[in-house]
Structure 1
Amino acid sequence: MPKPTKGPRLGGGPAHERLLLANLAAALFTHKSIKTTETKAKRMRPLTERLITFAKRGDLHARRRVLAVIGDKAVVHELFTEIAPLMAEREGGYTRITKLGFRKGDNAPMVQIELVLEPVAPKKKAAPKSSAKAEAPAAAAPAEDEVVETPAEDAAETEEAPVEETETVETSEPIAEEEPAEAPAEDDKK
C-alpha cells in the first residue's frame, strides 16, 4: 500500500482523499485518459498501478480487493475483462503522465494521465550478452600472456644464478621416479 503522506491532504481529510483518488481511478479506467492536476495524478498513479496488478491476477480475491476501493461494479468488470488482458505482458508502468501546461484560472499545473495500452516489445534474451562476455576474455587472454612472458624472461636472465641454485636443491632427490621402478619388482616376487 502506498505510504500516506504527511501534511495537508488533497481533499481535506484522509477519507476524502481516499474517495477522491478512487473516483479519479474509476474515471481513468472508464475513459482510458483523464486531465487533472499534477499533484492528483502523481498521488493517483500508485493506486491505479496496484489496482491493475490485482486485475492481472484475475481471481475472486483480487476482484473483491478492487471492489473495496472502487465501488462501481461496471468499472471493475471493465478493468478485469478489457484492461487487464491488454496489460498481461507488461511488468509495470501501466500509466503515463504528460504535462499540459498551467490552468488559466488558478495557474495550477495540469497533466494528462492515461493508460499505456500499446503492446510490449519482447525483451532480448541474456544469451547475446553472455557470448559477448565470453569473447572478450578470450581476446584479452593472449594479450595478457604475452605481457606476462616478457617480464618473466627478463627477470630470469638477470637472476639466473640464484634461481638455478634453488632449483638444484629441490630437484636433487628424484624420489617420484624411483618408486614406479620398484613397484614392478615387488609384483615379480609374488
Structure 2
Amino acid sequence: MRHRKSGKKFGMEPSHRKSMFRNMARSLITHGRIRTTVVRAKELRKVADGLITLALQNDLHARRQAYKVLENHQLVKKLFDEIGPKFVGVPGGFTRVVRLGEPRKGDNAPLAVIEFTALGAAEAPAAAPEVQKTEEPKAAPAKKAPKAAKEPKEPKEPKAPKKKATASEEAPAEEAPKAESEENK
C-alpha cells in the first residue's frame, strides 16, 4: 500500500526523475514558462516553489541549496537577483498551472503551461489602495409597463410592375462577347 506517500513516480528510477525535474526547473527559470503535461507541471510546482522560497531567504546557505538542485551558477544568480525579489511579501503560490485545451498529438496526454505568477511585489497592481466601499442599498428593479397594443400599419402603395427587357436592349450585351472572341483569333 502506498498510503501517505506523496509524489508521482512517472515510471522512472529516482535518479531519472530527479534529473527530469532539475531540467524542467532550469527551463522554467530561464524562460519563465514551459509547456508540459498536467501531472508533470503539478509535480514541478513543488520544486519551483521550493526554489523561490530559498530565493526569498537570500543567504549563502540558501544559494548553496539552490545550486544543489539547479547545478548552474548563472541560474542561481538569476533566481536570487531577479525572480526572488518579485515575490517578497508573498506567502506562497509562486507558480500557476494553466491547462491547455488541446491534448498532445501522439499519446493524447493533457497539456498545461506552468509559469511564475505575475503578482509579485514588484508587479503588484500599481499600489491599488484598498478602498472600503460602503454598500449602498440597491433599488428594486422597476417593473416593465405592459406593452401597448400595436397600431395597424398603413397599407403600402402597390409597386409598378417591372418592365421586361426587349430583344433590342438585350442584343448589344450579347454581341459584345462575340466581338471580343473574334478579336482574339
Shift of residue 11 of structure 1?
Answer: 5.6
CA RMSD of aligned residues (A): 2.1
Partner of 1:47: 47
Mapping for residues 10-29 of structure 1, pairs under 5 Å: 10=10, 12-29=12-29
Q: Which amino acid aligns with 2:38?
A: E
Partner of 1:104: 105
Note if 1:67 corresponds to 2:67. Answer: yes
3-state SS in 1 of match to 2:100: strand
Q: Which amino acid aligns with 1:112?
A: V
Whole-Å Cα distance in 1 between the matches of residues 11 and 76 of structure 2? 24
Change (3 A) 1:49 1:34: same
Change (3 A) 1:65 1:24: same
Mapping for residues 1-190 of structure 1, pairs under 5 Å: 4-5=6-7, 9-10=9-10, 12-101=12-101, 102-118=103-119, 119-120=123-124
In structure 2, runs of 5+ residues without a counterpart are 133-185
Whole-Å Cα distance in 1 between the matches of residues 14 and 90 of structure 2? 31
In structure 1, runs of 5+ residues without a counterpart are 129-190
Shift of residue 90 of structure 1?
Answer: 1.3
Whole-Å Cα distance in 2 between the matches of residues 123 and 52 of structure 1? 25
Whole-Å Cα distance in 1 between the matches of residues 128 and 63 of structure 2? 30
Partner of 2:162: none
Shift of residue 89 of structure 1?
Answer: 2.3
Change (3 A) 1:72 1:4: farther
Q: Which amino acid aligns with 1:106?
A: D
Contact 2:7-2:43 within 8 A present in 1 as well: no
Shift of residue 117 of structure 1?
Answer: 2.5
Q: Which amino acid aligns with 1:105?
A: G
Shift of residue 10 of structure 1?
Answer: 2.4
Whole-Å Cα distance in 1 between the matches of residues 83 and 11 of structure 2? 28
Contact 1:89-1:120 within 8 A present in 2 as well: no
Partner of 2:135: none
Whole-Å Cα distance in 2 between the matches of residues 11 and 70 of structure 1? 23
Q: TM-score, normalised by structure 1?
A: 0.59
Whole-Å Cα distance in 1 between the matches of residues 59 and 84 of structure 2? 12
Q: TM-score, normalised by structure 2?
A: 0.60
Shift of residue 39 of structure 1?
Answer: 1.0
Shift of residue 105 of structure 1?
Answer: 1.5
